[in-house]
Amino acid sequence: MSATPRPSGATPRFDVPEIDDFTRPYWEAAAEGRLLIRRCRTVGCARPHHYPREFCPYCWGEDVEWEEASGRATLYTWSVVHRNDLPPFGERLPYVAAVVDLAEGPRMMTEVVDCPEAGLGIGMRLRVRFRACGDPAVSVPVFGPY
Protein backbone atom coordinates (compact mmCIF):
# COMPACT_ATOMS: atom_id res chain seq x y z
CA MET A 1 0.00 0.00 0.00
CA SER A 2 1.50 3.32 -0.95
CA ALA A 3 0.43 6.89 -1.27
CA THR A 4 -0.43 7.59 -4.87
CA PRO A 5 -0.12 11.13 -6.19
CA ARG A 6 -3.39 12.57 -7.42
CA PRO A 7 -3.52 12.99 -11.20
CA SER A 8 -3.49 16.60 -12.36
CA GLY A 9 -7.03 17.96 -12.52
CA ALA A 10 -8.48 15.12 -10.41
CA THR A 11 -11.03 15.99 -7.75
CA PRO A 12 -9.33 15.88 -4.33
CA ARG A 13 -10.48 13.16 -1.92
CA PHE A 14 -10.97 14.19 1.68
CA ASP A 15 -11.81 10.73 3.00
CA VAL A 16 -8.55 9.02 2.03
CA PRO A 17 -5.45 9.52 4.15
CA GLU A 18 -2.02 10.18 2.77
CA ILE A 19 0.18 7.27 3.82
CA ASP A 20 3.80 7.89 4.75
CA ASP A 21 6.56 5.71 6.20
CA PHE A 22 5.54 6.47 9.78
CA THR A 23 1.80 5.73 9.38
CA ARG A 24 2.23 2.76 7.02
CA PRO A 25 2.02 0.14 9.85
CA TYR A 26 -1.30 1.69 10.96
CA TRP A 27 -2.84 1.50 7.47
CA GLU A 28 -1.44 -1.96 6.76
CA ALA A 29 -3.00 -3.24 10.00
CA ALA A 30 -6.30 -1.57 9.08
CA ALA A 31 -6.23 -3.40 5.73
CA GLU A 32 -6.00 -6.62 7.79
CA GLY A 33 -8.94 -5.59 10.01
CA ARG A 34 -6.82 -4.53 13.00
CA LEU A 35 -6.85 -1.17 14.78
CA LEU A 36 -3.52 0.09 16.11
CA ILE A 37 -2.84 2.72 18.74
CA ARG A 38 0.45 4.02 20.13
CA ARG A 39 1.71 3.45 23.67
CA CYS A 40 4.46 5.33 25.47
CA ARG A 41 7.19 3.11 26.92
CA THR A 42 8.68 5.84 29.09
CA VAL A 43 8.92 4.73 32.73
CA GLY A 44 6.21 6.46 34.75
CA CYS A 45 4.03 7.27 31.74
CA ALA A 46 3.05 4.21 29.65
CA ARG A 47 -0.10 5.96 28.38
CA PRO A 48 -1.80 4.98 25.12
CA HIS A 49 -2.79 7.58 22.55
CA HIS A 50 -4.50 7.98 19.23
CA TYR A 51 -4.01 9.52 16.57
CA PRO A 52 -0.58 8.05 15.81
CA ARG A 53 2.33 10.35 16.68
CA GLU A 54 6.06 9.75 16.88
CA PHE A 55 6.16 11.06 20.45
CA CYS A 56 3.99 10.77 23.56
CA PRO A 57 1.57 13.72 23.81
CA TYR A 58 1.58 13.41 27.62
CA CYS A 59 5.27 13.27 28.58
CA TRP A 60 6.82 14.11 25.18
CA GLY A 61 8.83 10.89 25.34
CA GLU A 62 10.04 9.44 22.05
CA ASP A 63 9.99 5.78 23.15
CA VAL A 64 6.56 4.98 21.68
CA GLU A 65 5.42 1.74 20.06
CA TRP A 66 2.49 0.38 18.06
CA GLU A 67 -0.03 -1.74 19.96
CA GLU A 68 -3.10 -3.58 18.69
CA ALA A 69 -6.31 -2.23 20.20
CA SER A 70 -9.24 -4.45 21.13
CA GLY A 71 -11.58 -2.65 18.73
CA ARG A 72 -14.09 -1.99 21.52
CA ALA A 73 -15.31 1.54 22.21
CA THR A 74 -18.14 3.55 23.72
CA LEU A 75 -19.85 6.50 22.08
CA TYR A 76 -18.78 9.80 23.66
CA THR A 77 -20.63 12.21 21.37
CA TRP A 78 -21.92 12.45 17.80
CA SER A 79 -23.48 14.69 15.21
CA VAL A 80 -25.65 13.60 12.31
CA VAL A 81 -24.36 15.36 9.19
CA HIS A 82 -27.11 16.17 6.70
CA ARG A 83 -25.12 18.43 4.38
CA ASN A 84 -21.54 18.17 3.15
CA ASP A 85 -20.45 19.45 -0.24
CA LEU A 86 -17.02 17.78 -0.20
CA PRO A 87 -16.74 14.67 -2.36
CA PRO A 88 -17.44 11.87 -1.58
CA PHE A 89 -19.29 12.73 1.64
CA GLY A 90 -22.34 14.05 -0.21
CA GLU A 91 -22.93 10.53 -1.53
CA ARG A 92 -23.20 9.17 2.04
CA LEU A 93 -25.62 11.70 3.55
CA PRO A 94 -26.77 11.57 6.22
CA TYR A 95 -23.85 10.12 8.19
CA VAL A 96 -22.86 10.11 11.84
CA ALA A 97 -19.62 11.92 12.72
CA ALA A 98 -18.62 10.75 16.16
CA VAL A 99 -16.07 10.72 18.94
CA VAL A 100 -15.58 7.39 20.71
CA ASP A 101 -13.64 6.35 23.78
CA LEU A 102 -11.53 3.31 22.95
CA ALA A 103 -11.47 0.58 25.61
CA GLU A 104 -7.73 1.24 26.00
CA GLY A 105 -8.39 4.87 26.94
CA PRO A 106 -7.73 7.14 23.94
CA ARG A 107 -10.53 9.16 22.40
CA MET A 108 -10.90 8.88 18.61
CA MET A 109 -12.80 10.78 15.93
CA THR A 110 -14.63 8.41 13.59
CA GLU A 111 -17.96 7.60 12.00
CA VAL A 112 -20.75 5.40 13.39
CA VAL A 113 -22.26 3.07 10.78
CA ASP A 114 -25.11 0.56 10.65
CA CYS A 115 -27.11 2.30 13.38
CA PRO A 116 -30.23 4.44 12.93
CA GLU A 117 -30.07 7.93 14.43
CA ALA A 118 -32.73 7.00 17.00
CA GLY A 119 -30.52 4.12 18.20
CA LEU A 120 -27.57 6.35 19.11
CA GLY A 121 -26.86 7.05 22.76
CA ILE A 122 -23.97 8.28 24.86
CA GLY A 123 -22.12 5.32 26.31
CA MET A 124 -23.43 2.81 23.74
CA ARG A 125 -21.04 -0.04 23.09
CA LEU A 126 -19.35 -0.06 19.68
CA ARG A 127 -16.94 -2.27 17.80
CA VAL A 128 -14.49 -1.24 15.06
CA ARG A 129 -15.23 -2.03 11.44
CA PHE A 130 -13.33 -0.96 8.37
CA ARG A 131 -14.49 0.85 5.23
CA ALA A 132 -12.49 0.57 2.02
CA CYS A 133 -12.25 3.87 0.19
CA GLY A 134 -10.12 5.48 -2.48
CA ASP A 135 -8.13 4.11 -5.36
CA PRO A 136 -6.04 2.27 -4.39
CA ALA A 137 -8.35 1.25 -1.57
CA VAL A 138 -7.42 2.21 1.98
CA SER A 139 -9.27 0.68 4.94
CA VAL A 140 -10.51 3.38 7.31
CA PRO A 141 -11.71 2.50 10.83
CA VAL A 142 -15.38 3.24 11.55
CA PHE A 143 -17.52 1.90 14.39
CA GLY A 144 -20.84 0.12 14.60
CA PRO A 145 -23.04 -1.36 17.33
CA TYR A 146 -21.40 -4.12 19.33
What's the number of CA atoms in the CB half-sphere (13 Å) around residue 145?
8
With a CB cutoff of 8 Å and minimum separation 6, the contacts of 116 are none
Would you kindly state where each structural domain of the chain is located, as residue ranges?
24-145
pLDDT in tens, 17-57: 888 999 999 999 999 999 999 999 999 999 999 999 999 99
Residue type, 137: A
Residue type, 38: R
With a CB cutoff of 8 Å and minimum separation 6, the contacts of 51 are 108
What is the DSSP track for 57-95?
Answer: TTT--S-EEEEE---EEEEEEEEEE----STTGGGG-SE
Q: Please tell me whether residue 43 adopts helix, strand or coil conformation.
A: coil
Report the C-alpha gap between 116 and 122 in whole angstroms: 14
pLDDT in tens, 72-111: 999 999 999 999 888 778 788 999 999 999 999 999 999 9
Q: Please tell me whether residue 52 adopts helix, strand or coil conformation.
A: coil
**How many CB atoms within 10 Å of residue 26?**
21
With a CB cutoff of 8 Å and minimum separation 6, the contacts of 109 are 97, 98, 99
pTM of the complete model: 0.86
